[in-house]
Amino acid sequence: MAKEYAVTVNPEEEEVNRLGVVRVIWSELSGGIGPWGAFRPIFSVLVSLVPFVYLGQHFNGQHSKAFGWALIQLPLILTVILFPILYIWSIIDSWWFSNKIIVSKNII
């Protein structure tokens, strides 16, 4: 014999207020990790656009990488091709690592 089951759902009414809506919008804009949020990679790229000092790596906490690249750039400044490659790669690396920081904070 077939039995029929009845499922009833009692929806709990959640009160929606303006503060809750603002909180959800802020969480979406910030990536859920506070005021820096999704703006962190953009700021990292803007800072890394300053040539010769690799501020993007310093901003991301990669101080040894920044110092290493600063030492590598000294002989590369004499070349026309290799220094722009290092400069562009430092900007890309700064953006990539900053995104990695955001992802690692959102996994928890």
Report whether 45 contacts 91 (CB < 8 A): yes
- Would you say residue 64 has pLDDT above 90? yes
- 102: in domain: yes
The more confidently predicted of residues 34 and 89 is 89
Average pLDDT over residues 88-101: 90
DSSP 24-63: HHHHHHHTTSSSSTTHHHHHHHHHHTSTTT-HHHHHTT-H
* 60 Cβ neighbours under 8 A, 6+ residues apart: 44, 94, 97, 98, 101
The total number of structural domains in the chain stands at 1
- 11: in domain: no
* 87 Cβ neighbours under 8 A, 6+ residues apart: 51
- 88: in domain: yes
Tens of pLDDT, residues 3-12: 888 877 776 6
